[in-house]
Amino acid sequence: MQPAREKEGTMKAYERLLKYVVIPTASDDDSETVPTTKVQFNLARVLVDELQKLGLKDARVDDKCYVYATLPATGGCEKAPAIGLISHMDTVSDFADHKVNPQIHENYDGRDLDLGDSGRKLEVKLFPHLADLKGRTLITSDGTTILGSDDKSGVAEIMTMLERIRKENIAHGKLCIGFTPDEEVGAGADHFDVKSFGADYAYTVDGGAEGGIEYENFNAASAKLDITGVNVHPGDAKDIMVNAVSVACEVQSMLPKEETPEMTEGYEGFFHLLKLSGDVANAHMEYIIRDHDRDKFEEKKQLIGRITDQMNEKYGEGTVSLKLKDQYYNMKEKIEPCLHLIENAKKAAKAAGTNPKVEAIRGGTDGARLSFMGLPCPNLGTGGYAFHGPFEHVTVEGMDIVVEMLLQIVKIYSDLS
């Protein structure tokens, strides 16, 4: 059973979400193509068709799978700032190996919830916010896949906002719409055409609970270490063998044990060992390095560099090779000169009937990189929770609030003309 539409002929955000999540769009971190997977074009083409039907005549998808569209300002609002709204179309690849089967749970009782026949359940002890969702309509997967709310909820909310603007004849300044591929593999802003996008300011709609407003994020880098050992017969190994896997374990032991994701919160940074593989002869390690503070971020990179040097001094030059790559930076420095984006988002949240929650992101968004590309771009919540796994969920009511919040932002900026 599905909740009824509020108005006949007007599609609600959750209905769009149900349509979008069954379209596979997982990106691929190991791919070197642009986009990393061709399946992302399937949703892109659907969105272009819907945008054109809503009257955004310039809606298009380029050869790299970026969707762009513009809604020109209404009469009298031509001098209002041009506002961009951006979400990403791709999902993570984990738990995305078969079609999503979304489940609707009306009048949720706020208790533990079985996810289909998967054997998994949403447990209040793991997700305490579930108690606050009592009485709402909850949307989940069947427990065997992700839901895809990250970030198809954001896409659905932007599309629903546009439909309401058109059908309710809401006055607005120029609106610039962008849907990106490959955000989940850190490449969502790689080929974003900021100049032709045409916005003065923008918001990504890619966060958690409704009312969430984020303009501080991690500084981020990746670190890849390749370890070359010396493999000889263990009977003759003394003073000759260099066990690459043992060296990898030694590297890990030299990093601060308290600076890991499972032991940090808030503004605390970390080293996160993503992958470790190998044998006596060769080993490979992959880390992500995160910190909100730029100086501490640089110190973390320097530490892993010093450890590399120490391993090479101990076991021989060339034993460990390190590739460090900065991924994105804390957008705070780019947003602070235009804090009206945050103040107006707070006003919009209150007008939409929810409490604004300004929080730091323990992660990153396309908006972080776009801010450094000249487009100040904080992040807004989508009403979703527990992203990147089979426990992902969102509520119909939360999505409705986000749509209303976006409309209020549009109205606020149209009044600045």
Catalytic (active-site) positions: 90, 183
Does 126 score more than 90 pLDDT? yes
Looking at domain 13-217+330-414, its CATH class is alpha beta
Find how far residue 47's CA is from the centre of its chain: 19
List the strands of the sheet with 320-328, edge to edge.
270-278, 282-291, 219-228, 320-328
Please give the helix or strand (H or E) that residue 212 lies within, else none: strand 212-216
Does 163 score more than 70 pLDDT? yes
CATH topology of domain 220-328: Alpha-Beta Plaits (3.30.70)
Mean pLDDT of 140-145: 97
**What pLDDT, in 10s, does the model give residues 278-319?**
999 999 999 999 999 999 999 999 999 999 999 999 999 999
Predicted TM-score (pTM) above 0.85 = yes
In angstroms, the CA 17 to CA 40 distance is 16
Domain assignments of the chain as residue spans, ordered by start: 13-217+330-414, 220-328
**What pLDDT, in 10s, does the model give residues 203-261?**
999 999 999 999 999 999 999 999 999 999 999 999 999 999 999 999 999 999 999 99
Closest CA to 251 of 262, 243, 241: 243
In angstroms, the CA 338 to CA 70 distance is 23
